[in-house]
Amino acid sequence: MASDTQRILARAAREVIPGQIVNLGIGLPTRLFHYLPDEMEVLVHSENGVLGCRPRRDGEAPDHDMIDSGGAYITTRPGASVFDSATSFAMIRRSRVDLTFMGAFEVDAAGNLANWKIPGKFSPGIGGAMELAQKVRRLVVLCSHNDKHGNPKILARCRLPLTASGCVSRIITDKAVMDVTPAGLAVVDIAEGLDPADLQAATEAPLLIDESRLGRF
């Protein structure tokens, strides 16, 4: 039985189209690396200044000048390039990165994202999250549907300071895959065995659910 995290990652990997330039946010999204097969022609961008990174294989010696933005020693695939921080963020701001995956503290029905600060508790700085959220063509949020106390993370409206507004295209959680639409959050897929009413009960935002078209994952 796959864990919730594995199910989120396996579902998220289906979002990546061969030929794309993709950024993997720090934390859970970084683990998507292991779901992208070597033969898939995708270049993974890391904002510290590399396009075309891949994880080191077992036994491959680390190059101490080669990290991703999460700090792991990485290596590169054919077609890769390295560059400075200004170039890296020009690539982001000019929307030359096709797809990014990010974690979330809160995400809401209007596609607003809060993932950098919990006032009084957690404020280590925003890093590259704001520019990625605001400018990458397609942002897919990967997160648990509820926090560790069971509170919903998919809200009617975010309460924490925003990373960017209206930036989220799709949300993938352990319970559902939801698209941000002008009418609200539309459920695309629902977790195997989960009742739509129970999904709504675990979610603060009102969900648009068309049971005849619902996928399972």
Partner 1 sequence: MTLLTEKVRDIQAAVAAIPEGATIMVGGFGSPGTPFALLDALLESGQGGLTLIKNDANEPGIGIGRLIEAGRVRRLITSHLGLNRTAIEAMNAGRLEVSFHPQGLLAEKIRCAGAGHGGFLTDIGLGTEIAAGRREIELDGRCWGIEPALHADVALVHAERADRYGNLIYRATASNFNPLMAMAAEQVIAQAYRLDAPGELPIDAIHTPCAFVSQVVQVDRATSEQGVRPHGL
Size of the site for partner 1 (CB under 8 A): 42
Name, in order, each residue with C-beta under 8 angstroms of 26's C-beta and a sequence gap of 6 or more: 69, 70, 103, 127
Closest CA to 180 of 199, 161, 154: 154
Single out the residue of 15, 47, 106, 174 in contact with partner 1 (rule: CB under 8 A). Answer: 47
Residue in the block written with tokens 């961008």: 45
Q: Which of 164, 178, 190, 202 binds partner 1 (CB under 8 A)?
A: 164
d(CA 141, CA 32): 13
Cβ(92)–Cβ(128) below 8 Å: yes
How many Cα neighbours within 13 Å face the side chain of 116? Answer: 17
CA distance 29 to 10: 11
For position 93 contacting partner 1 by CB under 8 A, the verdict is: yes
For partner 1, the binding residues in 112-151 under the rule CB under 8 A are 117, 124-131, 134-135
CA-based R_g, the chain, Å: 17
15 is catalytic: no
CB of 68 to partner 1, least distance (A): 8
The tokens for 195 are 């009742």
Write down the least CB distance from residue 61 to partner 1, Å: 12
Which residue's CB is nearer to partner 1, number 16 or number 160?
160
Which helix (DSSP H) or strand (DSSP E) does residue 107 occupy? strand 106-108
Which residue number, 41 or 84, has a Cβ lying nearer to partner 1?
A: 84
By CB under 8 A, name the one of 25, 29, 49, 52 that touches partner 1.
49
Tell me which DSSP letter residue 120 carries. T
The nearer residue to partner 1, 165 or 169, going by C-beta atoms, is 165
**Subset of residues 195 to 214 that bind partner 1, contact rule: CB under 8 A:** none
66 backbone dihedrals φ, ψ, rounded to 5° = -125, 95
Told to check if 85 binds partner 1 by CB under 8 A, we report: yes
Among 45, 52, 54, 69, contact with partner 1 (rule: CB under 8 A): 69
**Residue of 15, 47, 106, 131 with catalytic role:** 47
Burial of residue 72 (number of CB atoms within 10 Å: 0-12, 13-18, 19+) = middle
Q: Which is nearer to partner 1, 77 or 214 (CB)?
A: 77
Active site residues: 47
Interaction site with partner 1 (CB under 8 A): 46-50, 62-67, 69-73, 82-86, 88-90, 92-93, 117, 124-131, 134-135, 161-165
